[in-house]
Structure 1
Amino acid sequence: MLDPVARQRALIEETLRAVCPIRTSIVGVPCIFAPEQPATAVAAPAAPVAPSEGDVLRAVRELGLPSLRVHIEPATTTLVNVPTNLYAEPEPFERTLDLLGTPVRVRATPSSFTWHHGDGTSQRTTSAGRPYPHLDVTHRYQGPAEALEVRVDVIYVVEYAVGDEPWQPLDAVITAEGAPSALTVREAAPVLVQP
């Protein structure tokens, strides 16, 4: 049986072993506590990354630029060797996109039009054509045909502005393929009639 002083010392040492696993040899200091680990610094939120030209190009391609429907005069049937009038009606295109948390303004302007006549020929113009009596864009069909698919593809030049920065050109052109319109080409023969 331990004397009361030895029992008290044993109780204190047992308590210290439970509370303080690191002992010291310095007289009067029963143990050394491990220093607290510094709190992990929280990283400051990164500044938004400005979208690259490639990011803008990808976004515009995913968005898609407006395709145009070709208007044909006369409407669904024309005649061999008669000028058939073609025109389209482009509209201004401007959008604001959110890319990588940054607003990017995009605008697209038609720069040229490729007219596919449906008979294996095509032509490129910088004009969108106009309704009759203007004959800016015409085509003469050389022979009769049924259900030709006539369409116009638009080639756009695109500009973009990141945030409040000035407009800059996108170093790529984007083509929007138009939907086809059906056209029949007839052959007419002159007939003399009694007045």
Structure 2
Amino acid sequence: MLEGTETVPGTPGSGAGSGAKGSAPDACPIVRLGKCFGTVPKPSDPTPAAQPITLRDIASFRPAAGVQHMEPNGWVVAGLDANIYAVVGQRLVDGALLGRPATVRFTPVGYRWNYGDGTAAVRSTQGATWASQGLRDFDPTPTSHVYADEGEYVIRLSIDFRAEYRFGSSGFVPITGTVTVPANELYVTVTGAKTVLVEHDCSANPSGPGC
């Protein structure tokens, strides 16, 4: 038996009838003895690109607020450094993200201090106590502040967190932008300092004048 491929005039793929040249998208892939065998697969729709996670998507995830402290506690001498610092660390928050279990990691990256005297500062460090830095009381630190005038002030701090997310045990993926969370407020009294003369060091002679 002789087998072959035959194109019938006027059938799809012959270039006649439809006026199309070459292969049309709906042309028969195999024609034998005037009969069509097989079908032409339609191109599949492209898979839409995954949308990046944004800060809006993680609105239900919130890091715990940091806590700010100061030395001396609650009072300051005008013209001398007050050491103000924050206690905060990296936070892991679990929840549902786009309907899937996820973990969001928050890392503190910036500290916005408002000292209540008309001045403010943005620091990249949270600071630490004088003792932990090997400093004496009233020494300047990377986060200290000097009040020029006596009075009552309120110190406010807001902390910027960088956010990352992950699904399951996959690696963390960064999210563009930062989340800002306010810390506690500190109320401080700024007073003047008086210099007095003492007889010997007060630790050696506690009953001496001025001690």
- TM-score normalised according to structure 1 size: 0.66
Match status 1:113 vs 2:119:
no
Partner of 2:88: 90
In the alignment, structure 2 segments of 5+ residues that lack a partner are: 1-49, 134-140, 200-208
How many angstroms does 1:173 deviate by?
0.7
The structure whose RCO (Cα within 8 Å, separation 6+) is larger is: 1
Partner of 2:40: none
Match status 1:160 vs 2:165:
yes
What's the C-alpha RMSD, in Å, of the aligned pairs? Answer: 2.1
Match status 1:71 vs 2:59:
no
Q: Which amino acid aligns with 2:174?
A: P
Partner of 2:15: none
How many angstroms does 1:141 deviate by?
0.4
Secondary structure of residue in 1 paired with 2:56: helix
Partner of 1:136: 142
Secondary structure of residue in 2 paired with 1:61: coil
- Structure 1 contact 112–156 (Cα < 8 Å) conserved: yes
Q: Give the share of equivalent positions with the same residue, in percent.
A: 27
Partner of 1:171: 176
Partner of 2:189: 184
- Structure 2 contact 115–156 (Cα < 8 Å) conserved: yes
Secondary structure of residue in 2 paired with 1:88: strand
How many angstroms does 1:66 deviate by?
2.2
- Bigger Cα Rg: 1
Q: 1:94-134: per-residue Cα shift (whole Å, max 9, x none)?
A: 12211343112110100111121121211111111001133
Q: Which runs of 4+ in 1 moved over 2 A?
A: 57-66, 133-136, 162-166, 189-195
Aligned-partner Cα distance in 2 for 1:119–1:61: 33
Partner of residue 145 from structure 1, selected from 126, 151, 167: 151
Aligned-partner Cα distance in 2 for 1:100–1:156: 21
Aligned-partner Cα distance in 1 for 2:106–2:63: 8
